[in-house]
A and B are shown apart, each in its own frame.
Chain A
Amino acid sequence: MALIETNHLKKYFKTKSGLLHAVDDVTLKIEKNETLGVVGESGCGKSTLGRVILGLLPATEGDVTYDGESIWTEKGKKKDFVYNEMQMIFQDPFSCLNPRLSIHDLIAEPMIVRKMVKDKKEMKQRVLELMDLVGLSERYVNAYPHELDGGRRQRVGIARALALNPKFIVCDEPVSALDVSIQAQILNLIMDLQDKKGLSYMFITHNLCVVKHISTNIMVMYMGQVVEYTSKEALFEKQLHPYSEALLSAIPLPELRKSRDRIVLKGEVSNPINPKPGCRFAPRCKYATEKCTSQEIPLIEVEKGRKVACALYM
């Protein structure tokens, strides 16, 4: 049984101008010790998806199951085990740590809240263990977040996420606010922790390159919908959906190139408020035909384990 599963998950927000389809019909599966990379641009609903899966936001439709069990009780309350089993690593290492708490208190906080450790000495021991695990030197234990740089802060964030020994962690752009040289350190750390602790991740990012190393499967989202869902190898070999192709080609690579072969998409992402039927990417797509906007484009399995939502493959 998959560790995390969602079935036709939907999350709509009411706005003044209409219903915003932040997450529209997402079905996914994350096995134990696997990483699902969720890729898309801002406003594609990837962060909302992560928060719905963690139960921080209630779903409009559909359910999230952990190990086969729904994370919600019938009365609509979040089940207690969720807190211990599922955690999150945040994007902004500056705003995800309470500036008034010391590093020790920050890492200890989840354990105090969940009443995991009661003894003060034991707590200190546990905090130091966690700091060691994420590669933070012991001398920072009494420091405050503003005394640390972005990379170290993100390590604190990771240590805190690990404090309750979760099995599943949603990483919401954990490296996009960091410098390149630090990015690589943090990515390696996240991968090492997966091997050590048998964690499963949902790794949310806008940079396809970043998920290259870490993911088992990759899901590309556009305006709340899944446009391509496949294994990492298959995706990097060939992107079937025109959006995945453009997304990958848009990443500036530090290589000398003769010709400018990159695809530059026209237009911008708009908000999926009361979206019209048909492919939401069509207005920016160079292959778009009438077929794309005249009917709903379902996510269909084109090869084994490879799903694409594009009229080209219907």
Chain B
Amino acid sequence: MKKKEKAKSQSQLGLILFRFKKNKLAYISVYVLILIALAILLAPLYMDYDKAIKQNISERFISPCWEHPFGTDLYGRDLLARVIYGGRISLFAGLAVILFSFIFGVIIGSISGYFGGWVDQILMRFIDIFMAVPTIFLAMAIVTALGATPVNLVIAFVICNIPSYSRIVRSSIMTLRNMEYVEAAKCCGTSNLRIILKHIIPNGIGPVIVTATISLGTAILSISSLGFLGLGIAPPTPEWGTLLADNRYYIRYYPYLGILPGVAIILTVMCVNFIGDGLRDALDPKMKK
């Protein structure tokens, strides 16, 4: 009870943080994710990049041991180093993809959903064009045109993701724009921008956050699938998706080769999912769990 009182005197942001912290799983996930991110970012300080790319046939397929905690792969490269350096591309490119798709999706979706009419028609037909092309072809086309760098990869996948995000945002906003509080806001002459930012987006963002966090896994894997097709990150640069793909032939005899990079992906995706759930609940004042 006392805690609740304390919460009441805090600011909006404080309240959101307060509610977020109540969700233990999400709160822990934040720390885990930070830890993972730090480990990846600071990798050059404690680990040689050479270990991740330099082939050493004499040391191939060593099971996890003290020297190689994750073991080594077909070419005798240290798997731990490959996982850590692989994260530099996968994690950050994945996060960037969902972040930017989210931002653009929300902008396009809310404009289209709020104004309706011809604005909506034009935006949505445009979006339809993108939706009509299979994601992977679209991404391939974009990467081929721009060149296969990590930044261009992110751009390609953001463009591929925007349609579905804006569709989700649009539909939730179309129901919200007829709410009486939007009308009440119009009654005192609130500008459209303010209505969208203050009254509509905060109320309609829940499902998009969930979609965004769920799609991180997909984003990581699609980046690697481009690599697989020879368009993304070229070997020997390590990257989570390719780690899985390359090692899949040996999983039967050396299961750690598939399991350990898989765990890295799962752990990250789970953390982001939990954070997403926590965020959605924290943004909703009705949640009090």
Contact = CB atoms under 8 A, between A and B. Distances in A.
Interface string B167-208: 000000000000111011111111100100011001100000
Contacts of B187: 54, 56, 83, 87-88, 161
A146 interface: yes
B134 interface: no
Interface in A96-140: 96-102, 105, 109-110, 113-114
Contacts of A98: 181, 185, 198-199, 202-203
A225 interface: no
A109 B180 CA distance: 15
Contact of A113 (B179, B183, B194, B203): B194
B188 A99 contact: no
Main secondary structure of the interface of A (DSSP, over half): loop
A88 B12 CA distance: 27
A99 B203 contact: yes
Interface residues of B, number: 24
A90 B181 CA distance: 9
Given A88-B187, A110-B188, A144-B286, A95 B202 contact: no
B108 to A, nearest CB: 22
Contacts of B189: 78, 80, 82-83, 113-114
A144 B285 contact: yes
A95 B203 CA distance: 12
Contacts of B194: 113
Which range holds the interface residue count of chain A?
20 to 34
Given A56-B183, A113-B194, A146 B188 contact: no
A51 B182 CA distance: 13
A146 B285 CA distance: 8
Interface in A294-310: none
Interface in B203-217: 203
B9 interface: yes
A200 interface: no
Interface of A: 51, 54, 56, 78, 80, 82-83, 87-88, 90-92, 95-102, 105, 109-110, 113-114, 142-144, 146, 157, 160-161, 163-164
6 contacts: A88-B183, A90-B183, A95-B181, A99-B285, A113-B190, A144-B285
